[in-house]
């Protein structure tokens, strides 16, 4: 039986979710965290080379990439794991679904609202840091910085999408939170080590042409490649990125893969939630 999508219903849920995050100062807190970390890392990012102070945008972004890879997925997973399972556990889900709203609209409303909160806090946090850094950066550097911020938002949405999927599939909040933390641990800490381990152990039996595809299976790696490939100096620092052929390293291919990482988990969530 055909059901039409009512975008107004998605908007009602999304605006409630967004306003809740504004009201409980979640957006403000995350923005402040991003600003402070971004400024500290921009200033001390080159300390290993024996110098402190604001350097060029390439070094700043290289330092911020590591921060974003650790912080943004964690924040997105914490933000989204509760979205559906929390409503279910509290008992408010059945009341919501008794109203003229479909599970799809409810899920999309949740995602859009939370993604909005995450995007605003990311833009505000890194944007403020960008404004503070802008006096010593040129137009090209700012262009790269904007690209970095947008890709950070995409990374956040990819992990938010994973979190919403977890929230639909988990039986209770405890399991959902455990699963979310486990996924963060896997994608941010374990995955690259695993790939390197496979590469070393396989000793050339493992095809190098297949290796870049495996990097696409981790949104954190896509984000890393997306940001480090713009800078020649930074590219040299990342051995993993250099194995990527030019076609797979194009911003469009990487951007599309990131969008797939947003769409695919959401698709699974919608399918399961129905």
What are φ and ψ of residue 216, in 5° steps? -70, -15
DSSP the chain: ------HHHHHHHHHHHHHHHHHTTHHHHHHHHHHHHHHHHHHHTTGGGT--S---HHHHHHHHHHHHHHHHHHHHHHHHTTTTHHHHHHTHHHHHHTSS--HHHHHHHHHHHHHHHHHHHHHHHHHHHHHHHHTT--HHHHHHHHHHHHHHHHHHHHHHHHHHHHHHH-SSHHHHHHHHHHHHIIIIIIHHHHHHHHHHHHTTSS-TTTHHHHHTT-HHHHHHHHHHTT-HHHHHH-HHHHTS-TTTTSHHHHHHHHHHHHHHHHHHHHHHH-
Question: Among 48, 49, 50, 94, which residue interacts with another protein (rule: CB under 8 A)?
Answer: 94
* 2-10, 127-135, 190-198, 226-234 -> range binding another protein (CB under 8 A): 2-10
Which of positions 60-79 make contact with another protein (CB under 8 A)?
none
Q: Does 29 bind another protein (CB under 8 A)?
A: no
Q: How many other C-beta atoms are found inside a 10 Å radius of the C-beta of residue 40? A: 13
| 13-21, 65-73, 188-196, 230-238 -> range binding another protein (CB under 8 A) | 13-21
Nearer CB in complex with another protein: 24/66: 24
> Min. distance of Cβ 14 from another protein in angstroms?
12
For another protein, the closer of residues 15 and 250 by Cβ is: 15
* 171 makes contact with another protein (CB under 8 A): no
- Which of residues 94 and 232 has its CB atom nearest to another protein in the complex? 94
Rule CB under 8 A: say whether 227 interacts with another protein.
no
Give the range of 97-105, 203-211, 251-259, 263-271 binding another protein by CB under 8 A.
Answer: 97-105
Alpha carbon 120 to chain centroid distance?
A: 13
50 binds another protein (CB under 8 A): no
Q: Does 28 bind another protein (CB under 8 A)?
A: no
Cβ-based nearer residue to another protein, 13 or 262: 13
Give CA–CA dist 118/24, Å, rounded.
14
Query: Residue 121 interacts with another protein (CB under 8 A)?
Result: no
Give yes or no for residue 90 binding another protein (CB under 8 A): yes
Q: How far is the CB of 90 from another protein (least distance, A)?
A: 4
Give least dist CB 20 to another protein, A. 7
In whole angstroms, how large is the CA radius of gyration of the chain? Answer: 20
Q: Shortest gap between Cβ of 181 and another protein (angstroms)?
A: 24
Binding site for another protein (CB under 8 A): 1-4, 9, 12-13, 16, 20, 23-24, 90-92, 94-102
């Amino acid at each position: 039986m055909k059901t039409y999508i009512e975008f107004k219903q998605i908007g009602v849920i999304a605006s409630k979710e967004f306003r809740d995050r504004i009201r409980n100062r979640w957006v403000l807190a995350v923005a402040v965290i991003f600003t402070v970390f971004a400024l500290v890392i921009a200033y001390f990012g080159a300390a290993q080379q024996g110098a402190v102070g604001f350097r060029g945008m390439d070094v700043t972004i290289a330092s911020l990439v590591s921060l974003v890879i650790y912080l943004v997925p964690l924040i997105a997973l914490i933000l989204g794991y509760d979205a559906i399972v929390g409503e279910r556990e509290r008992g408010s889900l059945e009341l919501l679904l008794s109203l003229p709203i479909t599970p799809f609209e409810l899920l999309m409303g949740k995602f859009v609202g939370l993604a909005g909160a995450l995007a605003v806090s990311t833009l505000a946090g890194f944007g403020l840091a960008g404004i503070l850094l802008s006096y010593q950066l040129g137009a090209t550097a700012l262009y790269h910085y904007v690209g970095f911020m947008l890709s950070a938002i995409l990374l956040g949405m990819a992990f938010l999408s994973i979190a919403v999927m977890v929230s639909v599939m988990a039986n209770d909040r405890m399991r959902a939170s455990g699963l979310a933390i486990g996924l963060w641990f896997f994608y941010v800490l374990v995955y690259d080590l695993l790939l390197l381990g496979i590469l070393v152990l396989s000793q050339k039996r493992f095809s190098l042409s297949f290796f870049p595809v495996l990097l696409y299976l981790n949104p954190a790696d896509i984000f890393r490649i997306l940001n480090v490939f713009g800078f020649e100096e930074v590219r040299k620092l990342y051995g993993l990125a250099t194995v990527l052929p030019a076609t797979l390293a194009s911003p469009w291919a990487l951007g599309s893969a990131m969008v797939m990482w947003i769409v695919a988990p959401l698709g699974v969530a919608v399918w399961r939630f129905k």
